[in-house]
């Protein structure tokens, strides 16, 4: 499924050639509006990637954020995150007056509450202007409603209802609304018509800005890699509108939830809390929900990373009553049937398989049957991970994507310098891994680390046979653990890192470009 064409759109970007890219979530871009967005700074970052010879920009999920501002848990698997809408570009498009673009917020860390309030006020002004002159976007709205007919009506109504009920969970709404009785839904659409229209316009504006950025990137030889979390938040339009597809009790509450068993990140496992799928019901529907989800992703990205790929073959089922993920059990999932249905509906679709964790032969067989590249994490090559040997660059295979680290890991320099006092490793294990990394990067007899361990790690991955290399921007900049994006198992302080001012210099672009040139990875 790594070829260049699908029925949802075509792409000149392929994982079949040697290339490199950068992992950076949009919210991490600089700017004065609380978090990074799809406006001028995103275009400047694309320019930096092009000048650096990079062929890929990988982001985290671009859907609405949920608890703790996590992009992996939000109100929809289809909608765009309104926090990413650029108020600067709304003014350029004439939907805001220049005087409406005000309010300079601290750019050092993402300030989600302030950013949310700022954008909501700006979008309400844009909506009022649209109401005063509806012809401006009438055609675009009609086309968007038709294109997004599978998910947009339910999402817009869900958001309007959630606000009308003061943000309470949908299971706490009046019974008729929670159970989606047609007469009550029709009444709600009438009474909340203006609110529903606001959320429809919000999504149209996101779609227009996203597509404009994608066009800008493609014109400069940069493809976009997206991210698709396998599980969905219970507090979402998807679970409310497709309840029969999830393991819920009669009150709509999950009976079992998703997670992973005890591992490197947590001694008690990770209890994610997402409701699990009724895979038989999904299969009986021809996997329509998944097909429509992938169709939507294909319209936004050139390649999609499938988060927790092992979950398509087996998943860790935890009783909802359990406080941790320790007392779970592995259950089968119909991965072969699902991807056969996706192929029949959409054609060959480019995916990256996040094949980390307890990977079984059946998971590897599905990945290889689909022709998907797996992930190789350099940080994991020196520890106790069951795939550690495969993460050493001399063991890579061409059909793979090599990373210095991911959004869930410490930065490379933070990992390299960590002494075991703050992370999951003991002091002895941290020292053992550090010495092994020094030997790998600087030579078998070396005891002194290279002057720039992060840059030597980049060079080592660029030199490997892996066709694609992706590095978090933090590793390219050589930042320590203060720049970490997420710490799994923690609820606070994540997703807030932002690019320091003036960090993306011409000198850095030239150095990265030279690395890509030497190892035949120019975008």
Is residue 523 assigned to a domain?
no
Helices (H), 192-313: 193-219, 237-241, 279-284, 288-300
- What 3-state DSSP class applies to 261? coil
For residue 6, indicate whether it is catalytic. no
- What number of other Cβ atoms are within 10 A of residue 193's Cβ? 11
Inside any domain, residue 510: yes
pLDDT of 367 over the 80 cut: yes
Q: Looking at residue 366, which CATH number applies to its domain?
A: 3.20.20.80
Concerning whether 344 is annotated as a catalytic residue, the answer is: no
Q: How many residues does the chain have?
A: 523
Range of the domain at 289: 5-518
pLDDT digits (tens, 9 = 90+) for 258-277: 999 987 667 899 899 999 99
Catalytic residue among 88, 235, 307, 433: 307
- Give the model confidence (pLDDT) of 430-473 as tens digits: 999 999 999 999 999 888 899 999 999 999 999 999 999 999 99
In angstroms, the CA 295 to CA 338 distance is 14
| Predicted pLDDT at 266 | 78
With respect to residue 455, please indicate whether it lies within any of the assigned structural domains.
yes
93-129 residue pLDDT tens: 999 988 888 767 767 899 999 999 999 999 999 999 9
**354 labelled catalytic:** yes
pTM of the model: 0.95
Please, is 68 exposed, middle or buried when counting C-beta atoms within 10 Å of its C-beta (0-12, 13-18, 19+)?
Answer: middle
Using N-to-C axis directions, what is the helix angle for 193-219 and 138-147, rounded to 10°?
90
pLDDT for 234 equals 98
Number of domains in the chain: 1
Residues paired with 10 in a beta bridge: 5
The catalytically annotated residue of 41, 354, 418, 456 is: 354
CB atoms within 10 A of CB 456: 18
Check if the beta carbon of residue 458 is closer than 8 Å to that of residue 515.
yes
Residue 40 domain flag: yes
Please report the sign of the dihedral spanned by the C-alpha atoms of residue 466, residue 470, residue 476, residue 481: negative
In a domain, 98, yes or no: yes
Q: Residues 206-235: pLDDT tens digits?
A: 999 999 999 999 999 999 999 999 999 999
Other Cβ atoms closer than 10 A to 389: 10
Look at residue 481 and tell me if it is in a domain.
Answer: yes
């Amino acid at each position: 499924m790594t070829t260049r064409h699908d029925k949802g759109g075509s792409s000149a970007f392929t994982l079949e050639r040697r290339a490199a890219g950068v992992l950076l979530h949009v919210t991490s871009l600089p700017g004065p509006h609380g978090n990074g967005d799809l406006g001028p700074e995103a275009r400047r970052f694309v320019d930096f990637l092009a000048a650096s010879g990079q062929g890929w920009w990988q982001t985290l999920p671009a859907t609405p954020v949920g608890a703790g501002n996590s992009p992996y848990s939000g109100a929809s698997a289809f909608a765009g995150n309104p926090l990413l809408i650029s108020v600067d570009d709304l003014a350029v498009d004439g939907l805001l007056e220049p005087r409406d673009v005000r309010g300079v917020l601290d750019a050092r860390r993402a300030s989600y509450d302030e950013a949310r309030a700022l954008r909501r006020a700006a979008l309400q002004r844009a909506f009022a202007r649209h109401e005063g002159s509806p012809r401006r976007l009438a055609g675009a709205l009609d086309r968007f409603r038709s294109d997004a007919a599978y998910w947009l009506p339910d999402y817009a109504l869900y958001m309007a209802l959630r606000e009308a009920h003061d943000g309470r969970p949908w299971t706490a709404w009046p019974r008729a609304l929670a159970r989606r009785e047609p007469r009550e839904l029709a009444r709600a659409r009438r009474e909340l018509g203006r609110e529903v229209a606001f959320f429809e316009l919000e999504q149209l504006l996101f779609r227009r800005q996203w597509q404009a950025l994608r066009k800008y990137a493609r014109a400069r030889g940069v493809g976009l890699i997206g991210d698709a979390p396998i599980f969905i938040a219970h507090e979402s339009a998807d679970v409310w509108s497709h309840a029969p597809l999830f393991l819920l009790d009669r009150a709509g509450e999950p009976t079992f939830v998703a997670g992973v068993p005890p591992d490197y990140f947590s001694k008690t496992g990770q209890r994610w809390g997402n409701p699990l799928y009724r895979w038989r019901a999904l299969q009986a529907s021809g996997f329509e929900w998944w097909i429509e989800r992938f169709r939507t992703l294909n319209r936004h990205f050139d390649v999609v990373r499938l988060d927790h790929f092992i979950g398509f073959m087996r998943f860790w089922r935890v009783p909802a009553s359990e406080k941790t993920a320790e007392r779970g059990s592995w259950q089968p999932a119909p991965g072969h049937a699902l991807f056969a249905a996706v192929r029949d509906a959409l054609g060959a679709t480019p995916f990256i398989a996040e094949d980390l964790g307890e990977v079984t032969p059946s998971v590897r067989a599905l990945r290889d049957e689909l022709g998907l590249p797996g992930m190789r994490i350099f940080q994991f090559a020196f520890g106790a991970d069951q795939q550690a040997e495969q993460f050493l660059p001399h063991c890579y295979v061409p059909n793979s994507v090599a990373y210095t680290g991911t959004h869930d890991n410490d930065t490379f320099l933070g990992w390299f310098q960590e002494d075991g006092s703050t992370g999951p490793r003991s002091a002895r294990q941290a020292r053992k891994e550090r010495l092994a990394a020094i030997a790998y990067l600087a030579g078998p007899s070396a005891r002194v680390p290279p002057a720039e361990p992060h840059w030597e790690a980049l060079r080592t991955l660029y030199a490997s046979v892996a066709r694609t290399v992706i590095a978090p921007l933090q590793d390219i900049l050589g930042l320590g653990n203060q720049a970490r994006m997420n710490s799994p198992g923690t609820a606070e302080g994540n997703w807030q890192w932002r690019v320091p001012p003036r960090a993306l210099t011409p000198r850095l672009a030239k150095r990265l470009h030279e690395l890509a040139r030497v190892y035949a990875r120019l975008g």
